[in-house]
Copies of this chain bind each other. A is one copy, B any other.
């Protein structure tokens, strides 16, 4: 069995005040190059272009998720709940700490552009020839596999997976608090101490004592507000669109044998779709930003212009519309083509949606997407059965269409497009 470290170590953290490291294995994992790499991947991707304070890294967030998980488990241990399998402490803590290890730079955009998945990468790093793998092996040859199976949800202890991934898990709690703190918005101020105090291990699940219902309602509302105020902010979406266009264009050029003035490993492998674990670990946001800044001077005008837009924050303008039908979209694309615009690079249509909480109808069996309340008779109830507020908002997805486009190019050409299209693009917002 692994021993605790001689003296607890702490990290000063603005969100949790201190992150406490009590196990040697955690300390050693934090000090691996793979985990240190997360310092160079922002937690919120391009959001810093909207909220300049949002420059915090996945490193910070990962420590936070670990810390919340540690507090939950400590509480379970202190209170001696019999439904919590005490021997799972290390698996749970390691999975919490490492769950985001596979995130690439500007993760959502790069995943979309190159059809990757960060959870797969997390598992590949855990199981590959890496320092993280070596440290994990100290707890047993099968320990890396255990941690990976929590991540990919095949572990045979459901309560561990439920602790690490659920609609009310340490991941979500940390990111709401942390993203609110760094952006400076007020919405994420959930009463985490109260929520944590209300959590109970119960059979295969981590559930919430009924008297914690209002704290959970507040958490779900915070989540809702953060989605619409921060995560789906149109300026952020605009920068993500440009980012994806850059990746798309660079890959096109690479596929066509274009000779880049500047190229750096492991971008070619990324474009070719055969990037290995150790190459992947060299991808970070410093590399992406360096490539983009160098590419502002590429011969290929489109790539240069897109990179200039991203690096100097000359983002696409957007208009917002309640609804749009396919025919109109086709019409716009055709008008763009007719005007000499690029129907894809010069126009992107975006429709963000989110469900504040995925209620599951009462006739469905309990599943891991539900938040369960434990009443005084030890009966479980899905929260939307009990909470008017949660029931009211469960069905809300919301969302309006946003059209993104390069203002300087499109505006002068609106004259020659059908009037109806001109009106759409000319509205004020």
Residues of A within 8 A of B (CB): 10-15, 17-18, 31-33, 36, 39-40, 48, 51-53, 55-57, 59-60, 63, 181-187, 189-191, 193-194, 197, 214, 217-218, 221, 224-225, 228-229, 262, 264-265, 282, 284-290, 293-294, 308, 311-314, 376, 388-389, 392-393, 396, 398, 427-429
Contact = CB atoms under 8 A, between A and B. Distances in A.
B214 A218 contact: no
21 contacts: A11-B52, A12-B184, A13-B53, A13-B184, A52-B57, A55-B55, A186-B190, A187-B191, A214-B225, A217-B225, A221-B221, A221-B389, A264-B290, A286-B290, A290-B290, A376-B427, A376-B428, A376-B429, A388-B393, A388-B398, A393-B393
Contact of A59 (B52, B183, B289, B376): B52
Given A11-B52, A225-B217, A289-B40, A191 B183 contact: no
Given A12-B51, A55-B55, A186 B218 contact: yes
A228 B214 CA distance: 8
A55 B39 CA distance: 9
A225 B229 contact: no
A102 B189 CA distance: 35
Given A185-B191, A264-B290, A287-B290, A55 B52 contact: no
A27 B278 CA distance: 43
A264 B332 CA distance: 42
A178 to B, nearest CB: 9
A284 B294 contact: no
A60 B56 contact: no
A60 B53 CA distance: 7
Given A52-B63, A311-B33, A224 B389 contact: yes
Contacts of A221: 218, 221, 389
A289 B294 contact: no
A287 B17 CA distance: 32
Nearest to A56: B55
A28 B421 CA distance: 30
